[in-house]
Amino acid sequence: MQEKLSQFHVTILIFMTQTGMVIFTLPRLLAHYFGTNGWLALVIIFMIVSLNILLISIVHRLGKGKSIFVVMEQSIPKFILFPFYLSLVLLWMMIGCLIAKQYVMVFQMIAFPTTNSMVFKLVFDGLAFFLILKGIYNISKTATVFFWAIIWLLLLLFYFYGDFQWSRLTPFFFQESAINMQGVASIYLAFLGYELCLLLFPYTDQKTNLMKAVWSGSFLIFLNYIYTSFIAFGFFGHKYLKDLEYPLLNILAYIQFPFIQGTENLFYAFFMFSIIVTSVMFWWAAKEVSIRMFPISQKILLLVILLVSYFISFIFDGLSELEQWLTILGYIEMCVAFGLPIALIILLLVQKTRGEL
């Protein structure tokens, strides 16, 4: 009998999957698009995330926890699904690849400017390969260990209470803003990752209470984002935040210890634990889909996915270009996050009317 994921492990896994590089730029994006007290926009974005999770929970309930691949292949011929599967593999492979490359490029820039970033990327991909080989159960347990390794960083924000000023928040809401669909979508990208729970259906049971765990993990990341952004707005002010590329790094650099120089480099290194979980989950998802197309050794499929990802990384030399592509892929992923559950609900309702469920 296969081991099933626990509710606690899924909660932490979703939280760690959503904790990506965007946390370093999130306060700037909120200040740019939503102006004064822009951190409050996270409440609206989280409500949209909750709506998406509700759609996924309907899929889970209608399909009685059945694999989404089984649901699709029950009504649609596999040769028609093949291009869709291939698109998902490429999308998730690229997202995992670019998230990893973005992290190592920033790490190389602030800590090892003379070292080729692809050296760090090779080590990163190697660690990811061995972790994914262990399976989703061990990934979830590793994510839990990594969670305790980084969550203490939130305590560092107490250090800034002495320089936090309520006057920098201002009594106004969303003034000097540039609110548009692009702004909403840019903030929404910070929450992506929860949609991968669609692939977790076969690895859970009723005791897991999957959808409650997914919502809890997303709620934790919401609290993390809103607390971090609130401190950033009160520490810098919304006008100054607009000029900072990575506000969280600037905050970490403000912390000084007499026995350590470059504290932001040390703290940034700890974020590798969350970034590797994020990349691993997208690569694992790509591997899960590729198995439906190519029923061969999982190790070979995973090796191909990571090798292709590594060589694609050579294409991106600049951070701005990489971030533009990551944003584009994020928008596509948003469409998948909403579109796939809706399509699955329609399929399940059709199957129910035909008596196939």
- Burial (Cβ within 10 Å: 0-12, 13-18, ≥19) of residue 202: middle
Cα(94)–Cα(117) distance, rounded to whole angstroms?
17
Q: Domain for residue 1, yes or no?
A: no
For residue 257, give every residue at least 6 positions away whose Cβ sits within 8 Å of its Cβ, in sequence order, or none: 263
Residue stretches of the chain with pLDDT short of 50? none
Cα(140)–Cα(138) distance, rounded to whole angstroms?
5
Residue type, 321: E
What's the angle, vertex CA 278, arms to CA 316 and CA 18, rounded to 5?
115
Residue type, 116: N
Sole residue written with tokens 């201002």: 170
Q: Domain for residue 139, yes or no?
A: yes
Q: What is the pLDDT of residue 259?
A: 55
Q: What is the pLDDT of residue 2?
A: 65
Q: What is the pLDDT of residue 112?
A: 75
Q: Domain for residue 340, yes or no?
A: yes
**CATH, residue 73:** 1.10.4160.10
Q: What is the pLDDT of residue 257?
A: 63
Tokens read off for 1: 């009998």
Cα(90)–Cα(119) distance, rounded to whole angstroms?
23
Sole residue written with tokens 């059709």: 350
Per cent of the chain over pLDDT 70 is 96
Please say whether the dihedral angle defined by the alpha carbons of residues 244, 245, 251 and 254, taken in this order, is positive or negative: negative
First CA to last CA distance, the chain: 24
Tokens read off for 312: 């694609």
CA distances 180 to 26, 186, 188, 254, Å, are: 16, 10, 12, 33
Cα(170)–Cα(46) distance, rounded to whole angstroms?
23
- Cα 141 → chain centroid: 17
Q: Domain for residue 187, yes or no?
A: yes
Count how many domains the chain has. 1
CA distances 224 to 37, 213, 280, Å, are: 16, 17, 21
Q: Domain for residue 116, yes or no?
A: yes
Q: Domain for residue 32, yes or no?
A: yes
Q: Domain for residue 356, yes or no?
A: no
Residue type, 101: K
Tokens read off for 172: 């106004």
For residue 175, give every residue at least 6 positions away whose Cβ sits within 8 Å of its Cβ, in sequence order, or none: 35, 36
Q: What is the pLDDT of residue 313?
A: 87
**Considering only CA atoms, which of 282, 332, 330 is closest in space to residue 93?**
282
Whats the size of the chain, residue-wise?
A: 357
Question: Residue 151 sits in which domain range?
Answer: 7-346
Q: What is the pLDDT of residue 168?
A: 83
Compute how many other C-beta atoms are within 10 angstroms of the C-beta atom of residue 50: 15
Query: Pseudo-torsion of CA 303, 304, 306, 311, nearest 10°?
Result: 130
Q: What is the pLDDT of residue 212?
A: 94
For residue 295, give every residue at least 6 positions away whose Cβ sits within 8 Å of its Cβ, in sequence order, or none: none
Give the global pTM.
0.93
Cα(14)–Cα(281) distance, rounded to whole angstroms?
9
What's the angle, vertex CA 218, arms to CA 212 and CA 220, rounded to 5?
100
pLDDT digits (tens, 9 = 90+) for 79-98: 889 999 999 999 999 999 99
What's the angle, vertex CA 185, arms to CA 124 and CA 282, rounded to 5?
25
Cα(345)–Cα(355) distance, rounded to whole angstroms?
15
Q: Is residue 286 within 8 Å of 94, Cβ to Cβ?
A: no
Q: Domain for residue 352, yes or no?
A: no
